[in-house]
Structure formats: structure tokens, C-alpha cells
Amino acid sequence: METATTPTPFPRWPEGIPGCARCEKYTKERERRYHRREYSEATDQNVYLVRLKQRDHAEEDDG
């Protein structure tokens, strides 16, 4: 039996700030949701990550 693969290529997503536990939480959850084909939930994690970066990491983010 073959394992299912996602139907679309892995997207380019916002990256977390190294060393930030909350960024890591969002990026891991996003990846998990994407691989389970829960694309809306994966997108939600991107929104949470971007908001966190804007609020808490504005000076640290270089891109």
C-alpha cells in the first residue's frame, strides 16, 4: 500500500525566528496540518506566526 502524498508542492511559508518556542510551535503545527491535508488549519498557523513576528519580533526579523 502506498502512502498518500500531498497533492500540491510544498508552499513557501513565512519562517519563524530561531530560538523562539512559539514560532517553533506554529511552524511544527503548520507542517503537521499540511501533511494531513488540513490546508485551512495550516494557513491559520501562518497567520498566527506572522502576527507573532509583527508583534514580538519586529526588530529581529530581517525579511
pLDDT tens string 4-40: 665 565 668 899 999 999 999 999 999 999 999 999 9
Question: What range defines the domain where residue 47 resides?
Answer: 21-56
Q: DSSP state, 53?
A: H
Look at residue 37 and tell me if it is in a domain: yes
Look at residue 51 and tell me if it is in a domain: yes
Q: What is the pLDDT of residue 17?
A: 94
Look at residue 9 and tell me if it is in a domain: no
Look at residue 36 and tell me if it is in a domain: yes
Q: What is the pLDDT of residue 6?
A: 56
Q: Band of the pLDDT at 61, cuts 50, 70, 90?
A: low
Q: How many structural domains comprise the chain?
A: 1
* C-alpha gyration radius of the chain: 13
How far apart CA 35 and CA 39 sit, in angstroms, is 9
- The percent helix, strand, coil of the chain (3-state, each to 5) is 50, 0, 50
Q: Band of the pLDDT at 3, cuts 50, 70, 90?
A: low
